[in-house]
Amino acid sequence: MVTKEKKDDPEVLLSMEQAEKHFHGVHALKGVSITLRRGTVHAICGENGAGKSTLMKILMGDYQADAGNMYLKGQPVLFQSPRQALAAGIAIIEQELTPIHDMTIAENIFLGREPLYAGLFVNYGELNRKAGEILARIKVQLDPNRKMKTLSVAELQMVEIAKALSYHSEILIMDEPTSALGEKETDILFGIIAELKRQGTGIFYISHRMKEIFRIADEITILRDGEYICTKPASELDQDSLVSLMISRKLEGQYVKENTPTSTPLLSVRDLHRKNRHQPISLDLHRGEILGIYGLVGAGRSEFLESVFGVERPDGGEILINNRTLRIRSPYDAIQNGMAFVTEDRKGSGLALILSVKDNSSLASMRKSYRGVLINRKKESQDVQRAIDFFRIKTPSERQLVRNLSGGNQQKVVLGRWLLTTPSVLLMDEPTRGIDVGAKREIYKFISDFTRQGNGVILVSSELPEIMGMSDRILVFKNHALSGEIARKDASEEILMQMAT
């Protein structure tokens, strides 16, 4: 009977009851119910594989539930495709953005729905005016005539939101919208969300970042292993209680840090520079040290790591390992000298998704498992199995395609690949982006253990708690240059933000 009330409540935009979904014998959703109210942010929390994405895909018509009912403003609905959901006012801001880079902002927003002259020719004046209106509505100052390829990731996201709004959507689904954003851009996004709430939009919000959830969520629904656990007002939960509901086992503090930095330099960089990417940068990474690099998105951190690893050729400067100058002209040289690089973009530059766990894991260390002219398949398999065991990668077999793994397990495959090259210097760019709490913790534990053995890690991250929780020293990048350094004990969120902006 509660259902009846919810259904008829005008404040309820959408309600889903007892949704069930099976995939190839996997029970992905077990009787999940959720209600979205007008002008609220409803966070959906759970580890990877808890069923968040499946639930969202049902809401937006990508999948159809095997059982259960969905009501949109009291009317029963059943979406057969995302197009239908969109027409009914449900839009999603995807985790992976898919802009058409050579088109303008306005063209992207109204792709396929351009205002026309005489039903044939695009009315660009009208197009830009309408796009400008929507951007103004969310208080974003971008010229609708700018090309998408000139935008930062944060700006792309804003365009994506504008696009969703252009469909007059009252329900927005945001899947990890801040995963590519720095603190400052996140603030802007949250400003937009607040504005949308004021206008009566309901938002489903998925994120692994606890702090954010508590900043913006009104209600929180928790899923675990496809099961509905509970829905509570955000004010009744705190970070610890939320995490314990999500993972059912209590975590004793998220960060694991048991390393002790020494003063022996391991990797030294001297005046390394690359035109238009980053200014001359010098730093020392010591044995046993975790060196954090903080900065806003676009501050040149990733570009700097690419120069160090030889992905892109720097214009000048020196790189030394153990006080020996190296010639690094390609990633191959970097790997030969004991470096490893976990890139920012797992799917774009980390993994080949259509290849197996084995093929991805053994890729960088292939030359080590050789017998004469042929690959020693037995040794290769043993090595891969070692990586799978070491990181407890959840995969039915080494032959499973990487694209079928969860984000956390995919990231572990990347780590496993580098583990097999036995590196001493590990460069990590946003290593925990978009992965669940449990896997995050395992990665922190690995970083800690790895440096305890006298190795060094450079950790680039946009998450302040992560940077502060893991680093021994923190370097801050700003406008493609090093803007300062701060010791672990002196760091605070305020100071770091100040140095970065």
- Which residues are at the interface with another protein (CB under 8 A)? 24-25, 309, 311, 330-332, 334-336, 341, 343, 348-355, 359, 362-364, 366-367, 370, 373-375, 417
In whole angstroms, how close is the CB of 27 to another protein at the nearest point?
12
Distance CA 43, CA 41 (A): 6
What DSSP letter does each residue of 130-199 carry, written as one string? HHHHHHHHTT----TTSBGGGS-HHHHHHHHHHHHHHTT-SEEEEESTTTT--HHHHHHHHHHHHHHHHT
**Measured from the CB of residue 406, what is the shortest distance to another protein in angstroms?**
15
Nearest to 206 by CA among 8, 51, 17: 51
Find the distance separating the first CA and the last CA of the chain, reported in whole Å.
53
Question: What residues does 69 pair with on adjacent strands?
Answer: 17
- In the complex, minimum distance from the CB of residue 353 to another protein, in angstroms, rounded to a whole number: 7
Of 166 and 362, the one with the shorter C-beta distance to another protein is 362
Residues 178, 180, 182, 185, CA torsion sign: negative
Task: Please report the DSSP string for 249-318 in residue order.
Answer: S--S-S--------SSEEEEEEEEEETTTEEEEEEEEETT-EEEEEE-TTSSHHHHHHHHHTSS--SEEE
What's the CA gap between 462 and 221, in Å, rounded?
A: 26
CB of residue 248 vs another protein: minimum separation in angstroms? 28
Task: Report the nearest approach of another protein to the CB of residue 331 (Å).
Answer: 5
Tokens of 9: 């409540």
Of 371 and 452, which has the nearer Cβ to another protein? 371
d(CA 168, CA 134): 10
291: nearest Cα among 474, 103, 119, 425: 474
85 vs 242 by CB, closer to another protein: 85
Give the shortest CB-79-to-another protein separation in angstroms.
17
In the complex, minimum distance from the CB of residue 309 to another protein, in angstroms, rounded to a whole number: 7
Give residue for tokens 């390992």.
Answer: 321
Smallest separation, CB 363 to another protein (Å): 4
| Residue closer to another protein (CB basis): 24 or 249 | 24
- Rounded Cα distance, 476 and 373, in Å: 47
How far, in Å, CA of 112 to CA of 162, rounded? 15
Nearer to another protein (CB atom), residue 27 or residue 270: 27
Measured from the CB atom, the residue of 165 and 321 that comes closer to another protein is 321
φ and ψ at 346, to 5 degrees? -55, -45
CA dist 457 and 467 (Å) reads 12
Q: How far is the CB of 427 from another protein (least distance, A)?
A: 10
| Shortest spacing between CB 371 and another protein, in angstroms | 10
| Residue nearer to another protein on the CB measure, 208 or 274 | 274
Residue type, 343: T
Contact 431, 410 (CB under 8 A): no
Could you tell me the CA-to-CA distances from 111 to 103, 115, 160, 162, 167 in Å, in that order? 10, 10, 12, 12, 11
Smallest separation, CB 302 to another protein (Å)? 12
Question: How near is the Cβ of 82 to another protein at its closest, in Å?
Answer: 13
Q: Name which of 21 and 73 has its Cβ closer to another protein.
A: 21
Tokens of 367: 């030359």
Please, which residue, 163 or 358, has the CB nearer to another protein?
358
**Cβ atoms 246, 51 nearer than 8 A:** no
Minimum CB distance to another protein smaller for 22 or for 394:
22
Closer by beta carbon to another protein, 343 or else 424: 343
Q: Give buried/exposed letters for 306-316 (b at 16+ CB in 10 A, else e).
A: bbbbbbeebee
Q: Which is nearer to another protein, 15 or 411 (CB)?
A: 411
Nearer to another protein by Cβ, of 22 and 147: the residue is 22
Whether the Cβ atoms of residue 355 and residue 313 lie closer than 8 Å to each other: no
Query: What does the angle CA 374 – CA 377 – CA 381 come to, to the nearest 5 degrees?
Result: 150
Measured N-to-C along each axis, helices 183-198 and 493-500 cross at an angle, to the nearest 10 degrees, of 100
Shortest distance in whole angstroms from residue 421 CB to another protein: 8
